[in-house]
Amino acid sequence: MAATRVMASAGNAVSAPQSLDLCFRNGRLLTQNKRLFFVHDFGKKLMLSVVHSFPCAHRSRRFTTAVRAESTNGSEPSAHYDFDLFTIGAGSGGVRASRFAANFGAKVAVCELPFATISSDSAGGVGGTCVLRGCVPKKLLVYASKFSHEFEESGGFGWSYEAEPKHDWSTLIANKNAELQRLVGIYKNILKNSGVMLLEGRGKIVDPHTVDVNGKLYSAKNILIAVGGRPFIPDIPGSEYAIDSDAALDLPSKPKKIAIVGGGYIAVEFAGIFNGLKSDVHVFIRQKKLLRGFDEEVRDFLGEQMSLRGIDIHSEETPQAIVKSSDGLLSVKTNKGTVDGFTHVMFATGRKPNTKNLGLEAAGVNLSKNGAIEVDEFSRTSVPSIWAVGDVTDRINLTPVALMEGGALAKTLFANEPTKPDHSAVPCAVFSQPPIGQVGLTEDQAVKEYGDIDIYTSNFRPLKATLSGLPDRVFMKLIVCAKTNKVIGLHMCGEESAEIVQGFAVAVKAGLTKADFDATIGIHPTAAEEFVTMRTPTRKIRSAPSEILMPKLLLVFDSSLCNEKLLHQRIYMYGQSTPGQLSDLSRCPSPDSYAYAVDEREVAKAAVKNVFLLFTFLHRCDFSLLCKQVKFDFGAKLDKVFELILKLYSVGLCNVSS
Amino acid sequence: MARKMLIDGELDKANEAESHYDFDLFVIGAGSGGVRASRFSAQNGAKVAICELPFHPISSEVIGGVGGTCVIRGCVPKKILVYGASFGPELEDARNYGWDVNEKIDFNWKKLLQKKTEEINRLNGIYKRLLSGAGVKLFEGEGRVIGPNEVEVIQLDGTKISYSAKHILIATGSRAQRLPIPGQELGITSDEALSLEELPKHAVILGGGYIAVEFASIWRGMGAKVDLFYRKDLPLRGFDDEMREVVAKNLEGRGIKLHPSTNLKELSKTEGGVKVLTDHGEEIVADVVLFATGRTPNSKRLNLEAVGVELDKAGAIKVNQYSQTNMPSIWAIGDVTNRMNLTPVALMEGTCFANTVFGGKPMAPDYSNIACAVFCIPPLSVVGLSEQEAVEKAKGDILIFTSTFNPMKNTISGRQEKTMMKLVVDAETDKVLGASMCGPDAAEIMQGIAIALKCGATKAQFESTVGIHPSAAEEFVTMRSATRRVSAGTAKPRTNL
């Protein structure tokens, strides 16, 4: 066919006497598994063809090493090694891997630095970050700080206090430390009871099968590095006055006024903690919003709720220096000015893998640019006998993920069951106030990966807040793949989000659909029931008009004749339709899509005199977006448009090729 | 609107044929089920009317209110009081976290009551607007069924107006009942308990169901002395026995005096309040005696027998799987049918009704794996089968996974109360048949688990889900080894406790 071939794609609008203009939304087409090409024949023949393209791999493929039998069969005698497994680091991942390995019959040793609440090159402690300097102490402080909000709430429920409850920092810290000591004891016992030998001291790799602890050498068939990460403070003038999250969890006194630098989860959690304990809290973030990487709407919502609770968020304000004044107070100099009077400045500016001085480079273990150990899907490093799990590999830095990686590794090495940890649909929580829970993709990720998605949101005032009178709200969001109906993302910000999301995470992980959610009956009255009672999508996102390929019913708006209201009455049906399609038609369009259509019409009107908007309607096809995507500018009469449309479809339908 | 135009084309024809009816649907009762059914029917193009009794917190034959039991006398006000009561124990918990709350603390019941009433009035208004927004005509008055297609509304002034309707839906709900013992009039039901003038100093509660344990927790949390009497060994018959034990232990741990296997014989008035005589010969004087002894369907004054609608022994309207009574034009949903008396179930029945009758999509409500919660403090929430039910129904072995743990918050508060979770798993198919939890946030936690169960999730799928740390809920995905295996047929389920 001698045709002029025109590919319509993003930023490449076609103009021709009779032109088709396909507006793809900024590059989303790239992640579609179908691409549309219009083959335009000026001899008045139109052909529509589809080119199937493979979805782009959105994650870089990791090099997969086949797990070799000789290094995996831990039950084989390994007499020439002191241990089957030597683990460096007794945090969540290390303890889990060691215990499970021992349970599978391996001879295991683990070494850990001496206990201290603040970590360093020479201090750590059994239990690791989670127990000593992370999840646990953080959550305990969150509990403590939440009470002040409850005191406020209780007023609306008839409770009153002669004097406002006061908080004593030292009681809290003493009780917290007692609890941590108890947990360290429990962890040590767990190791002991599973037959793992615990060595205190700094482990260093001497060669692929040898570890040095305090000058003593131990040989091992496999070495596991699970040394975790540590907070990182950027080097700015006065950074020596700043504290990190380790120190913030164990301060001798409560900050009166604290600057928290950073917008990540640690920053927002500590902002909530100190705000709840009645410190004056200022958060400095480089970006416009908190929590980069989280769903945009959740970020907006949390920022609003935190501000309402009295936290001062300085967005796009980066500290450049800290100055100590004569009264001992700290000033923070930023790109926008100076904020004075801080008793404390805390940096929550990220964490770095603890890979220095471990002998890794000498042993030939590859590190990434940020110092994380590079591993394959089985957590194996570039040295076959050396493995790594947890934060030191900087995959998903969460305790339960380290547990999963540790458990999988033990199975791989000592149970003859090569197991890859599955990093998909890992739920997580931010214990901000209010907290966040999430599982699966954010909206942006979902659009990139799936293109066509439906978004369901709910932003409501919970029953408790209607009585308490506080401005607390709850935000919930479901992201559904339009094609498969699967729930691919679930987000919540509001009281008990972390607890609520866990069960939903099981559902998301199991690949359940929105229909499955809808079929589940609510538990009344709860906040969580909202997730199973979201009936109408808030919006639908369609990236490319690939669905045009299967028209069931064509509708043409004669936009020159109508105002907004008339528009609704001026839908002409064209082509064949069945009653079933009619009922679909009655169900699908939302008032929003009409509004959308009107806007589009206005735009088009300005451009040309006689504009027709073509709407293709089919199951799960969104009016509004199609209307945005497909514009016909023919400068022609109605019947000519019809003729052309018909041609387009008749040819298109029988010429689907790859 | 175009879409309207297109559907109306179909409906218009239908309407022509049936134009001799005033309405396509007349609903008696504007509670959860009735409101849902009428709104959805209207959205499907039906002409709908609904009638409801005048509003008041305490229901009677002639008092009700738009919103029904859930909004006015059930879920909502109950949950508000539970919130109010939870602050009491919270204050105790705060101390070890460094909060000095030893100063005088006051709880003002009247203030809470007033705020609760404000909230309920607000919700009542919202429901009314929902109806008018959906184009449903609301009549205030008592509805009665006169014929298969005729309803009579007795208005507030006593005048009667009758309307014809192609379909009649009865959604009149149920009401709390007292026990027929001497002096029963001295006791109150949950209706009054939600609107008491004064907070009781000493309350006696009779009943072992969810209403009984919820009020026990509410009053105890607000500082009252509470005696709870029930006929069985444990409260909450029908729930998992092990969870019942946990609830009983928690109630006791929070200072509620339990009187298992005890009935009340007689109430009498004394100077100090109401004297209660038990069948063990014990005497207690309390200022409030609450009968939480079940609810009866509101079917008496509807003239149903005269029209020929069948009722069961308990007075519930008999319906088929589509909520249709033996009279084809008369339907019934919600508590008045006494199937599963929960708000979300009434909503589901209402939706199914609207789809069946006016949506052209016959739809039977599905009662499997419906989660529910008991808002005692701490709450209990369950979905699917209890261990006893599973063992009874099982063809093969059942695996029981349990986890009993001290919630992290208690490690510092010092509260001696364990959280318990349980999964009941079919050993052969690995399917999770039942889940239950008793502990803080149980109701919120169970909702997501319910989806998994509804869709037949396996234990392996639970395990493949990564935990959210640190939460209580993560325990549901990290129970690795079974606590016990119960062989089918070998175990005698404990019943009748």
Consecutive H or E run containing B235: none
Of B100, B106, B371, the CB nearest to A523: B371
Q: Residue B100 and residue A165: Cβ atoms within 8 Å?
A: yes
- Candidates A502, A534, A573: best to mutate against B (most CBs of B within 10 A) is A502
Assess whether pLDDT exceeds 70 at residue A11.
Answer: no
Consecutive H or E run containing B355: helix B343-358
HEC letters along B315-330: CCECCCCCCECCCCCE
Of chain B, the end-to-end C-alpha distance in Å amounts to: 61
Instruction: With beta carbons less than 8 A apart as the criterion, state whether A218 and A82 touch.
Output: yes
Q: Which CATH class is domain A239-349?
A: alpha beta
Q: Would you state the CATH architecture of domain A434-541?
A: 2-Layer Sandwich (3.30)
Q: Provide, as residue numbers in chain A, all residues whose Cβ is less than 8 Å from the Cβ of B461.
A: 506, 509-510
Q: Provide, as residue numbers in chain B, all residues whose Cβ is less than 8 Å from the Cβ of A568.
A: 1-3
Interatomic CA distance for residues B116 and B82, integer angstroms: 12
Q: Residue B468 and residue A505: Cβ atoms within 8 Å?
A: yes
Give the model's pLDDT for residue B19.
Answer: 63
Assess whether pLDDT exceeds 60 at residue A622.
Answer: no
Q: Provide, as residue numbers in chain B, all residues whose Cβ is less than 8 Å from the Cβ of A165.
A: 94, 99-101, 103
Q: DSSP secondary structure string, A404-436?
A: HHHHHHHHHHHSS-------TT--EEE--SS-E
Using only C-alpha atoms, what is the Rg of chain B? Answer: 25
Question: What are the C-alpha distances in Å from A607 to residues A76, A476, A555, A636, A638?
Answer: 78, 40, 22, 14, 18
Choose among A121, A103, A105, A104: nearest CA to A113. A121
- Candidates A179, A485, A524, A578: best to mutate against B (most CBs of B within 10 A) is A524
Interatomic CA distance for residues B32 and B344, integer angstroms: 8
Instruction: With beta carbons less than 8 A apart as the criterion, state whether A314 and A284 touch.
Output: yes
Interatomic CA distance for residues B458 and B446, integer angstroms: 16
Q: Is the peptide bond before B470 cis (omega within 30 degrees of 0)?
A: yes
- Residue A615 DSSP SS3: strand
Give the pair of three-digit tokens for residue A401.
Answer: 């993920």
CB contact B90 to A (< 8 Å): yes
Strand partners, B204: B227, B289
Give the pair of three-digit tokens for residue A644.
Answer: 């052309």
Assess whether pLDDT exceeds 60 at residue A588.
Answer: no
Question: Smallest CA–CA separation between A22 and chain B, in Å?
Answer: 26
Assess whether pLDDT exceeds 80 at residue A581.
Answer: no
Of B115, B446, B455, the CB nearest to A516: B455
Choose among A56, A115, A61: nearest CA to A90. A115
Assembly ipTM: 0.92
Give the model's pLDDT for residue A66.
Answer: 36
The whole-number average pLDDT for the span A286-310 is 96
Chain B residues 106-135 with a CB less than 8 Å from chain A = 106-112, 115-116, 119, 122
Assess whether pLDDT exceeds 60 at residue A37.
Answer: no
Q: How many CA atoms lie within 13 A of B91 on its CB side?
A: 27
Q: Provide, as residue numbers in chain A, all residues whose Cβ is less than 8 Å from the Cβ of B116.
A: 467
Q: Which residue has the tokens 């893998």?
A: A353
Assess whether pLDDT exceeds 60 at residue A28.
Answer: no
Of B70, B79, B461, the CB nearest to A510: B461
CB contact B75 to A (< 8 Å): yes
Interatomic CA distance for residues A653 and A655, integer angstroms: 6
Question: What are the C-alpha distances in Å from B370 to residues A487, A519, B344, B358, B464?
Answer: 20, 10, 9, 25, 24
Q: Residue A179 and residue B372: Cβ atoms within 8 Å?
A: no
- Residue A36 DSSP SS3: strand
CB contact B381 to A (< 8 Å): yes
Q: Provide, as residue numbers in chain A, all residues whose Cβ is less than 8 Å from the Cβ of B409.
A: 143
Q: Which residue has the tokens 């090409």?
A: A37
**Residue of chain A minimizing CA distance to B348:** A521
Of B84, B122, B468, the CB nearest to A158: B84
Question: Smallest CA–CA separation between A533 and chain B, in Å?
Answer: 10
Lowest mean pLDDT among A74-88, A384-398, A404-418, A642-656: A642-656
Third-level CATH fold of A83-231+352-414: FAD/NAD(P)-binding domain (3.50.50)
* Residue A181 neighbours by CB under 8 Å, 6+ apart: none
Q: Provide, as residue numbers in chain A, all residues whose Cβ is less than 8 Å from the Cβ of B467.
A: 400, 403, 427, 502
Average pLDDT, chain A: 78
Our measurement of the distance from residue A122's CA atom to the centroid of its chain's CA atoms, rounded to an integer in Å, reads: 33
Number of CB pairs, chain A paired with chain B, less than 8 A apart: 292
Q: Provide, as residue numbers in chain A, all residues whose Cβ is less than 8 Å from the Cβ of B466.
A: 398, 400-401, 404, 426-427, 505
**For A41-52, b where at least 16 C-beta lie within 10 A, e where not — what string?**
beeeebbbbbee
Consecutive H or E run containing B213: helix B210-221
Q: Where are the domains of chain A?
A: 4-58, 83-231+352-414, 239-349, 434-541, 546-655
Interatomic CA distance for residues B62 and B41, integer angstroms: 26
Query: For residue range A208-223, what is the model confidence (pLDDT) as tens digits?
Result: 999 999 999 999 999 9
CB contact A341 to B (< 8 Å): no
**Residue of chain A minimizing CA distance to B223:** A159
Question: Smallest CA–CA separation between A337 and chain B, in Å?
Answer: 36
Interatomic CA distance for residues B188 and B344, integer angstroms: 27
Chain A residues 83-122 with a CB less than 8 Å from chain B = none
- Residue B284 DSSP SS3: strand
Interatomic CA distance for residues A322 and A342, integer angstroms: 10
Query: For residue range A232-267, what is the model confidence (pLDDT) as tens digits?
Result: 999 999 999 999 999 999 999 999 999 999 999 999
Chain A residues 404-423 with a CB less than 8 Å from chain B = 404, 422
Give the model's pLDDT for residue A143.
Answer: 98
Q: Residue B115 and residue A427: Cβ atoms within 8 Å?
A: no
- Candidates B8, B455, B466, B478: best to mutate against A (most CBs of A within 10 A) is B466
Chain A residues 132-151 with a CB less than 8 Å from chain B = 135-136, 139-140, 143-144, 147-148, 150-151
Question: Smallest CA–CA separation between A250 and chain B, in Å?
Answer: 14
Interatomic CA distance for residues A511 and A521, integer angstroms: 19
The residue ranges of chain B whose pLDDT is under 70 are 1-19, 103, 489-497
The whole-number average pLDDT for the span A332-360 is 96
Of B6, B103, B106, the CB nearest to A586: B6
Query: For residue range A99-128, what is the model confidence (pLDDT) as tens digits?
Result: 999 999 999 999 999 998 888 889 999 999
Instruction: With beta carbons less than 8 A apart as the criterion, state whether A630 and A545 touch.
Output: yes
Fold match between domain A83-231+352-414 and domain A434-541:
no
CA angle A623, A32, A29 (to 5 degrees): 75
Assess whether pLDDT exceeds 80 at residue A613.
Answer: no
Consecutive H or E run containing B31: none
- Candidates B199, B447, B453, B478: best to mutate against A (most CBs of A within 10 A) is B447
